[in-house]
Amino acid sequence: MVTAATRQQIEIPYPETDDPTLVLRTGPCRVRFSASEGTAWVGGTYEDPTGALPLQARGGPTTVLSQSFEPAAFTGMALPRLDLAFARSRPFALEIQTGAGENAFDLGGLPLSRVSVKAGAGRYEIDFATPNPTAMATLELSAGAGAIAAKHLANANFTTLRFGGGVAACTLDFSGQLLRDASARIDAGLGSVDITVPALTPARVVTKAFASARRSSGGFVSQGDTYYTRPGLQGAHPLLDIEVWLAFGALNLATSSLGV
């Protein structure tokens, strides 16, 4: 049975709330985000070459975009593509829930007040390539099995970051512009956690490891279970304060020469 490809146009106005939230739920799909100067809160297109995985929208203060997914209907054709452009005029919260697969989310430049990304098994990359123009309260990342990499995290402009990893390979790169004191709590089980911080960023990393290997390189200075960049050891601010809880895994700390 051959199903005709479909193309959906997306245009979502701002809801009547001071704190709009978009929840995005996807299965097999390639997603691209961008910032827009338009008047609509969210615009874009959804192209489904299978014709069997429609995108559904539900409005309200919390707007939900969900991709219908029936495994029997997915025949391994080219993946659907979702392109979303967000207006810059007002901050909003974004929640991404995705199943097994591979995807890269560039959230750079979007006015994000809160972000939550829950990734299933697979390979995922999250990037804040350009700074967030809005102060972000919380950034929550979680991953099951597979690999997840988050880059330019300082550009997210978060106050608090929480990361949870299962049996996953996790790479957290805190390069970017650190504008204010920020804290991060990282909990990981079986797997590896690689953390990179620019050598010129004031940072402190407190490690709580059980049956786990720890290794540091570059400009980190260790004092027992705590590691500092040299500006962090000197008490400079803004300070990036990281706490790592790790069981049966491996923690690798490194500094980079560039701040961005």
What proportion of the chain, given as a percentage, has pLDDT over 90?
60
CB-based contacts of 243, cutoff 8 Å, min separation 6: 183, 184, 185, 186, 205, 206, 208
If one compares 75 and 217, the residue with the highest pLDDT of the two is 217
Max mean pLDDT among 1-10, 59-68, 223-232 falls in 223-232
Interacting residues of 199 by C-beta distance below 8 A, sequence separation 6+? 218, 219, 229, 230, 255, 256, 257
Q: What is the mean pLDDT of the chain?
A: 89
Mean pLDDT across the stretch 178-207?
A: 93
Rounded to an integer, what distance in angstroms lies between the CA atom of residue 222 and that of residue 150? 24
Tell the burial category of 78 from Cβ atoms under 10 Å away from its Cβ (0-12, 13-18, 19+): exposed
Q: Where are the domains of the chain?
A: 6-186
pLDDT at 172: 95
Decide: helix, strand or coil at residue 231: helix
Tens digits of residue pLDDT in 7-59: 999 999 999 998 899 999 988 888 999 999 888 999 999 999 888 888 999 98
Of residues 224 and 173, more confidence is placed in 173
pTM, whole model, 2 decimals? 0.91
Cβ distance 204 to 235 under 8 Å? no
Instruction: Provide the pLDDT confidence category of residue 79 given band limits of 50, 70 and 90.
Output: confident
The pLDDT-based confidence of 1 (bands split at 50, 70, 90) is: very low
Q: Which two tokens stand for residue 110?
A: 């979007």
User: Average of pLDDT values for 105-109?
Assistant: 94
The pLDDT of residue 121 is above 90: no
Q: Is the pLDDT of residue 82 over 90?
A: yes
CA–CA separation, 74 vs 52, rounded Å?
Answer: 7
pLDDT at 30: 87
